[in-house]
Amino acid sequence: MGITTVIFALLFYIATIILFAGLGYKIYQYATTPAPLKIPTMPAPRTKGGVVVRMLGEVVLFKSLFRSNKWIWLFGYVFHVALLLVTIRHLRYFVEPTWWWIDLAQPFGKYAGFAMLLGLAGLLVRRIAVERIRYISAPSDYLMLVLLLMIGATGLMMSFVTHTDIVQFKAFMLGLMYFDWQPIPTDFVLLAHLSGVILLMVIFPFSKLLHAPGVFFSPTRNQVDNSREQRHIAPWAAELEASRSR
Amino acid sequence: MAGKKEYTVPEFRPYPVIPILQEDAMVGDGPFIAKPNHQEDLGFPGELVENWEEKAIEKMGDMLKKYRSLQVYLDSCVKCGACTDKCHYMIGSKDPKNMPVARQDLLRSVYRRYFTFAGKYFPKLVGARDLTRDVLDEWYNYYHQCSQCRRCSVFCPYGIDTAEISMAAREIMAAVGHGQKYCNEIIGKVFKIGNNLGLPEPALRDTLEGLEEDLEDDTGVAVKIPLDVEGADILLVTPSADFFAEPHIDGLMGYAKVFHEAGVSWTVSSYASEAANFGMFIGSYENMRQVSLRIREAAIDLKVKRIVFGECGHAWRVAYSFLNTLAGPFDFLDQNYPIPQHICEFTLDMIKKGELNLDKSQNDDKTVTFHDSCNVARATGMGGYPGGQFDIPREVIKAVCNNYYDMPPETIKDQTYCCGGGGGLLTDDLMDIRIKGALPRMEALKQVVDDYQVDHLAAICAICKSQFTKVLPYYKFDMHMIVSVHQLVSNAIVLEGQEVDDDE
Ligand code: HEM
Ligand code: SF4
Ligand code: SF4
């Protein structure tokens, strides 16, 4: 087994731990930090079920963004849906035998790669060309898009140009999961693709990618409008009441 | 008007293009800084403490643990730019730091530097920066150019609410001794006297008696405005501007007439003679709670059964969304009515029950439009269903007024543009940004003035009314265009026993 295999195996383990531990910590932090006041952006749903519908609208359709800016919505939506399809397609490297819906997603996932690049390119062009977005962009905002573009482009290259040995690659991935290491194919494009993915996993919990868990914890979107009917009080705020005379 | 020349009033845009940025357009020192006594009355240090950098970071850390909104919003922004053209202050001033995300970034950059891995080790990469005196001054200036109107929050894919960030920033600044004079001085007056104006009980009684006389002169009917009446059914909590400012006062007379015709017993309290709660503007839970508790205490002392709030935007936010949290539970009040209730809810209810004898033609000399106050529209409800806050005031207006037109749909309801003076900005030392921030609303008004000959702008917020009175003339409108919704109600009500002369 070559040194490349060892390095990538170890990197995958480390990246996985950082991704899950980091995200787990962030989710725990969001879930346990109290929201002391009712601040839903009105008009807001009056029931929990209504909140679920509102949240689905945001997560599945990016509804607020649609109202806000059609171009950002278009590029952003195409990118995310494509990313989802591509991710589903990638599950085949982790499951043997593959589930039926993973098989079903294969052709879509394959071409979604192009859509993903298109969406990302649109976002990048806007970030560079629109004065207002350029003003608010830090280097990391461009680099994030560049990284995703790089991952997408190398992935597409393997699908359509310089095919890699995916049977061997699958053996490598499954080997990682079952602690029975198998050699990794060593062509450059694959290694570049994987390096990008590992980097993405590592920066996920430390970057703006936290918007993915964050959206579910946004008080303006996940609170029920029932403040007159039900008293809402955070533990630290309740403590202040100890000194209240009546 | 002297001094009018000092400000450049933005031009109406021929069509609503997004302005080209003009860096540092609104750079400056911000509003007057609170004096030591204003600060200390509220439990804040008198002036900027020596180790303020350290204290500010400590305070930020403390708030991150107390407010999920702050923690999630500082992490989640993807800099997509969707909010960048949504703020009226950005549109009016063109200053890029008035773009909501840029305003957040003033704080976020410091958050990243001190609280995140990336900002600690790669500050340049993620736009993190140290907290320096320049940064503090920038905070002070630009966090007082946000009216906490939450328009940006409507359009952000994650609902990131810049108002929450502004409030947190102001709380941090006050906590290190760098508060705002206007808000803090006013909160101090509420603690000492009971209202923002510092109007003590005898003066308030005098004023109300004067109003009663006016009402009787006007109508021939003895309509009362009771003060501190124990055992009344309803406690009316209304912004103190209603007691003396124009056009607010005509709204107060409107409430009095509605209560009179409804035949309910009601009272104003001198102890809680203020609906406004500037504790919200400075982001201080504790100050907001202390102000709110006065209402609870007044309700207990006066043994009332219900609480009704007068026309005031942010006050209605505190009342509707926060009062139960801050000063509840209100188990001693009559549970058959909303706690608290908005005066528009009350009035519409009376109209529907036929308790009010209305002569709509009394408002035929007016063509009216309605300004949705941002706090009412985006931070509260009415009527117990989503959107009631839009319908109910309009239904009230349409019940008393024959000529009504809405402003363009993208400028009303939950997309409403702020008047430009909310969020603790209603002070002369911020006149420049107030004028500029009014631009989108003035443009929308211009449209209905041109298209439908609208000549009156009705509102249910004391701050909006004061702000419009001041800024309408800068945009070449008559300052008397602005009216209280209950002023329109007042015009139309024919009291029992009142003589009406038709050919007025
Ligand atoms: C719950 C799942 C998610 C939701 C609801 C969501 C939603 C959004 C929305 C609404 C935007 C703003 C529009 C845009 O610029 O595209 C955005 C931006 C972005 N998202 Fe997501 N996202 C999710 C998951 C992810 C994941 C897993 C990634 C991982 C790579 C990701 C990467 C990005 C990036 C890089 C941007 C910024 C695009 C730019 O720079 O303009 N998102 N997301
Ligand atoms: S809350 Fe209102 S004033 Fe503040 S940044 Fe958002 S849109 Fe502008
Ligand atoms: S809309 Fe929301 S996520 Fe996008 S830049 Fe503005 S605050 Fe950030």
Q: Report the distance separating Cα A85 and Cα A103, nearest Å.
A: 12
Across residues A7-11, what is the average pLDDT?
97
Ligand 2 centroid vs A153 CA: distance in angstroms?
Answer: 39
Residue of A nearest to B90 (CA): A132
Instruction: Indicate whether A110 pLDDT > 70.
Output: yes
Distance CA B474, CA B492 (A): 31
Q: Is the CB of B80 under 6 A from ligand 1?
A: yes
Cα–Cα distance, B306 to B342 (Å, whole number)? 11
Q: Is the CB of residue B342 less than 8 Å away from at least one CB of chain A?
A: no
Report helix angle B133-142 to B100-115, nearest 10.
150
Residues with CB under 6 A from ligand 2: B 86-87, 89, 100, 103, 146-152, 162-163, 166
pLDDT, residue B28, reads 95
Q: Chain B residue with minimal CA distance to A210?
A: B76
The low-confidence residues of chain B, meaning pLDDT below 70, are 1-5, 500-504
**From the CA of B428, how far away is ligand 2's center (Å)?**
20
- Look at residue A246 and tell me whether its pLDDT is greater than 80: no
List phi, psi (to 5°) of A55: -65, -40
For residue A62, pLDDT beyond 50: yes
Ligand nearest to the CA of B92: 2
Residues in chain A: 246
B150-181 burial code (b ≥16 CB/10 A, e <16): bbbbbbbbbbbbbbbbbbbbbbbbbbbbbbbb
To test the contact with chain A by mutation, choose from B60, B76, B87, B280 the residue with the greatest count of A C-beta atoms within 10 A, namely: B76
Closest residue by Cα to atom 7, ligand 2, is B87
Report the C-alpha gap between B15 and B311 in whole angstroms. 33
Give the range among A105-109, A195-199, B116-120, B132-136 with minimum mean pLDDT: A105-109
Asked if B99 and A136 come within 8 Å (Cβ–Cβ), the reply is yes
**Taking CA atoms, what residue in A is nearest to B327?**
A241
CA B60 to chain centre: 26
Q: Hey, are the CB atoms on A39 and B155 less than 8 Å from each other?
A: no
Q: Which atom of ligand 3 is nearest to the CA of B82?
A: 1
- The answer to whether B324 contacts A141, with C-beta atoms less than 8 Å apart, is no
Do A42 and B83 make contact, defined as CB atoms within 8 angstroms?
no
Residue nearest to atom 4 of ligand 3 (CA): B80
The rounded distance, in Å, linking the Cα atoms of B406 and A236 is 44
Instruction: Please report residues of B whose CB lies closer than 8 A to that of A235.
Output: none
C-alpha distances in angstroms, A57 versus A54, A84, A154, B64?
5, 17, 33, 28
CA gap A145, A137 in Å, rounded: 12
How high is the pLDDT of residue B198?
85
Task: Choose, out of A37, A144, A236, the residue to mutate when testing the contact with B (most B CBs < 10 Å).
Answer: A37
Q: Is the CB of B176 under 6 A from ligand 3?
A: no
- Return the SS3 of B200: coil
d(CA A78, CA B12): 36
User: Ligand 1 in contact with A59 (CB < 6 A)?
Assistant: yes
Q: State which residue of chain A sits closest to B95, comparing Cα positions.
A: A132
Query: Is the C-alpha dihedral spanning B331, B333, B335, B341 positive or negative?
Result: negative
Query: Residues with Cβ < 8 Å from A124, sequence gap 6 or more?
Result: A142, A145, A146, A149
Q: CB–CB of A38 and B80 under 8 A? A: no
Cβ contact A236–B66 (<8 Å): yes
Q: How far is the CA of B14 from the centre of ligand 2 (A)?
A: 24
How far, in Å, is the centroid of ligand 1 from the Cα of A79? 8
Sign, CA dihedral B494-B499-B502-B504, equals negative
Contacts A231 to B, Cβ<8 Å: 324-325, 328-329
pTM above 0.80, yes or no: yes
Overall size of chain B counted in residues: 504
Place of tokens 């868990």: A213
- pLDDT: is A163 or A116 the higher one? A116
Structure tokens that stand for B196 in this block: 């923002």
Distance (Å) from the alpha carbon of B395 to chain A's nearest alpha carbon: 18
Task: Look up residue A238 and give its two tokens.
Answer: 């309740």
Q: Contact B173/B253 with Cβ under 8 angstroms?
A: no
Collapsing DSSP to helix, strand or coil, B287 comes out as: helix
| Bridge partners for B382 per DSSP | B385
Residue B81 forms contact with A (CB below 8 Å): yes
Query: Which residue's CA is minimally distant from atom 4 of ligand 2?
Result: B146
Q: What residue type is assigned to position B401 of the chain? A: C
Instruction: Return the domain boundaries, chain B.
Output: 12-30+48-176, 193-492
Say if residues B320 and A227 touch (Cβ distance below 8 Å). Answer: yes
Give yes or no for residue A204 CB within 6 A of ligand 1: no
Among partner residues B105, B320, B387, which is closest to A136 by beta-carbon distance? B105
Residue B444 has a pLDDT of 97
- B77 touches ligand 3 (CB under 6 Å): yes
Please indicate whether, in this complex, the C-beta atoms of A211 and B85 are within 8 angstroms of each other: no
Cβ atoms B239, B316 nearer than 8 A: no
- Cβ–Cβ below 8 Å for B66 and A137: no
Predicted pLDDT of residue B1: 41
Peptide bond into B123 cis (omega under 30): no
Ligand 2 atom nearest B423 alpha carbon: 3
Helix (H, G, I), strand (E, B) or coil at B464: helix
Closest CA to B44 of B177, B137, B158: B177
Establish, for the pair of chains A and B, how many residue pairs have beta carbons separated by less than 8 Å. 214
Residue A11 has pLDDT above 80, yes or no: yes
The pLDDT of residue A71: 96
Q: How many angstroms separate the alpha carbon of residue B133 from the centre of ligand 3? A: 27
Whether ligand 1 lies within 6 angstroms of the CB of A205 is answered as no
Question: Does the C-beta of B81 come closer than 6 Å to ligand 3?
Answer: yes
